[in-house]
A and B are shown apart, each in its own frame.
Chain A
Amino acid sequence: MSATQDLTLVGAVQDGLRTEMERDDRVLVMGEDVGQAGGVFRATEGLYEEFGENRVINTPLAESGIVGAAIGMAAYGLRPVPEIQFSGFMYPAFDQLVSHAARLRTRSREQYTCPMVVRSPYGGGIKAPEHHSESKEAFYAHEPGLKVVVPSTPHDTKGLLIAAIRDPDPVVFLEPKRIYRATRQQVPEEPFTIEIGDASIRREGSDVSVFTWGAMTRPALDAADELASEDIDVEVVDLRTLSPMDTDAIVASFEKTGRGVVVHEGPKTGGLAGEVTARIQEGSLLYQEAPIARVTGFDVPVPLAQLEDFYMPEDTRIMDAIREVHAF
């Protein structure tokens, strides 16, 4: 077995970047404060010292410039990994992502492509200032031509990040900052990949399937553990990739349990719980024993810190929904 190291999720981001930059000198990191300071979450710590200012680039404060320039670099043959400091500040770059990154391959009939990974910390739960807590993964998953990855463990983070960097198409890599340092895990020192588009069963169960991703994986597992004492056997499926979505894994789990709950932090209306539900309905309608429940953020701007806990789904709310679906 190859050597491993004990890493947090953010440590795995740093390690994934480093091992891939060592292997492939076309890979470069760019963004606000990613240089000497190592990024506001220390995700690029040490990289500037190791790879120098032409591969770890502090940019002016301009997200459209960062992503737009990365598209040009990618088209020229580099493998840029731009960082957007918080996903709430992605919007100036939205035009570049949607109008160009997502469709460069299509509109040029593959003469030009955009192998780029836009990394960004996202999601709530750390009582951060305004605009720092949103979960807008549905925006990106809705855009044809973008892949969307959300890891939930240190191990997956490294494997998925490397897969994203090697992917021939643009990937939005959303890092659940709430769990950046929540857990540690043994992660191989060598580069390795986890296939984009593959969900992971975090806990097997036979009564109710919970589908989730990112930071919601933890409360979903906690809810599952607690409900074991009420004789409800819960399966937890971590989607890991939101686009493409692992329909087979979703359908297989649902066909086993016949009951489903989808959990995400983003607002309910237009959220990806609707997408998961539709895939179940298309793929395994006749297995359905109960309405599929959605445990999500509310359809409101994410409240500031003092009310954030009431916005975020957590284990109590998840258990409430599982019980209801189970009792139906």
Chain B
Amino acid sequence: MSAFQVPSPDDRVRILDESGQVIESATVPDLDDDSLVGMYRDMRVMRRFDERAVNLQRQGRLRTFPPLAGQEGAQIGSAYATDEGDWSFSSYREHGYNYVRGVDLPSILRYWSGDERGAAVKGTNVFPLAIPIATQIPHATGTAWAAKLQGDDVAVVCHFGDGATSEGDFHEGLNFAGVFDVPAVFICHNNQWAISVPRERQTATDTLAQKAHAYGFEGIQVDGMDPLAMYRATRDAIEKAKAEDPGEPRPTLIEAVQYRYGAHTTADDPSTYRDEAEVEEWRRLDPLTRFEAFLRDRDLLNDDRLEEIEAAIEKKIDGAVGRFGDDPEPEPADMFEFVFETPTEELRKQGAYLEALRDRYGDEELRS
């Protein structure tokens, strides 16, 4: 069979050590200075956006929000490694990846404020996020398969959490990917928790990466809080997926080992199931701090530059929140508009009934 080994935690891919120094045996990916600084800036955009979104939820302007703090390295690193034209599928926590791929910040806010108009952004190849756990995985396999059947130079990146690996759809999606040898990169964001359930309760295996072995393709564990390692792992996986003759199976499972600093969502209280000390432990691996140290070492970042970046980010996010706030309210009639290409007779009738009710009683009455 294949030459690859069952991955063990000792083989975890890492380029930066805990203090942001390049590890001796590692080589830094070939990224230009602008891209390196860009990665840092985008990670920082997401850290700040996260804080703002949580506040907007507290003010009642978002209904719920799933914070990503701690997971910027894996999302931004993998996004920078994705080629233009590639497709991606995600769950609800990967707005950092999606942002780099063209999903604008106001759209993210729209979706979490309960407005469908934020769910899909034109021209991005970023599929609408999937809330039912693991259901996006077979979609990713199917899209990658279709690209292969059509002879297109397209890879598909699929994101999901550690909890998702317990669902049947994970197994079926990866199994198909192996059988049909599709150009897909599966990124499992192992943030140690699925709401209150720890990673050990999801599987009795040592790693999540080793599950790929059972599907006949490569699985690797990566330090998900090291953006360079995530860039490298994703880049290698995408190149293998697209190679004329990769000489080994095309799909890859990347287990990005990381941590969710915040609550599962704004509706969750992590103090009921985990110790704050554990959070502090993981913060020592913070992707922003480590990457900042790396960039400072290379003279790509200094206090002045940082201040500029910070100011630009504030402006950007203020602008995004402003544009989100200026949205006209969605139209109730929209509900009926997009069910089918052509609304059925019955849908038209129901739509007309709602309009008649609005005329007769006014929206305030119907909303109470």
Contacts and interface: CB of A to CB of B under 8 A. Distances in A.
A61 B202 contact: yes
Contacts of B64: 128-129
A250 B347 CA distance: 29
A136 interface: no
Interface stretch (A17-25, A179-187, A271-279, A298-306): A298-306
Interface stretch (B24-32, B151-159, B160-168, B225-233): B160-168
A65 B166 contact: yes
Interface centre among A298, A310, A320 (most CB of B within 10 A): A310
A61 to B, nearest CB: 4
Interface string A90-123: 0110000000000000000000000000000000
Contacts of B195: 32-33, 37, 40
Contacts of A131: 131-132
B272 A38 contact: yes
B131 A306 contact: no
A316 B329 CA distance: 22
Interface string B343-360: 010110010001001001
A195 interface: no
Contacts of A269: 346
Interface centre among B111, B164, B335, B361 (most CB of A within 10 A): B335
A216 B64 CA distance: 24
A60 to B, nearest CB: 4
Dominant secondary structure of chain A at its interface with chain B: loop
B217 to A, nearest CB: 22
Contact of A307 (B92, B197, B335, B361): B335
Nearest to B362: A316
Size range of the chain A interface in the assembly: 35 or more
A268 B114 CA distance: 23
A89 B169 CA distance: 13
B297 interface: no
A214 interface: no
B176 interface: no
B368 interface: yes
A314 B272 contact: no
A33 B336 CA distance: 36
A49 B125 CA distance: 47
B115 interface: yes
Size range of the chain B interface in the assembly: 35 or more
Nearest to A34: B196
A306 B330 contact: yes
Interface in B213-238: none
Contacts of A92: 167-169
A299 B197 contact: no
Given A38-B272, A62-B168, A304 B114 contact: yes
B63 to A, nearest CB: 5
A64 interface: yes
A311 to B, nearest CB: 7
A58 interface: yes
A163 to B, nearest CB: 30
A244 B149 CA distance: 50
B113 interface: yes
Contacts of A317: 357, 366
B68 to A, nearest CB: 16
B267 interface: yes
Given A61-B202, A310-B354, A91 B132 contact: yes
Given A33-B195, A305-B115, 16 more contacts: A58-B196, A61-B202, A62-B168, A64-B168, A65-B166, A89-B132, A92-B168, A300-B335, A300-B350, A305-B63, A305-B113, A306-B329, A306-B330, A310-B354, A310-B367, A316-B365
Interface of A: 32-33, 35-38, 40, 58-65, 88-89, 91-92, 127-132, 268-269, 298-301, 303-311, 314-317, 320
Of all A-B residue pairs in the complex, the 6 with the closest CB atoms, nearest first, are: A305-B114, A37-B196, A60-B166, A61-B163, A304-B114, A310-B332
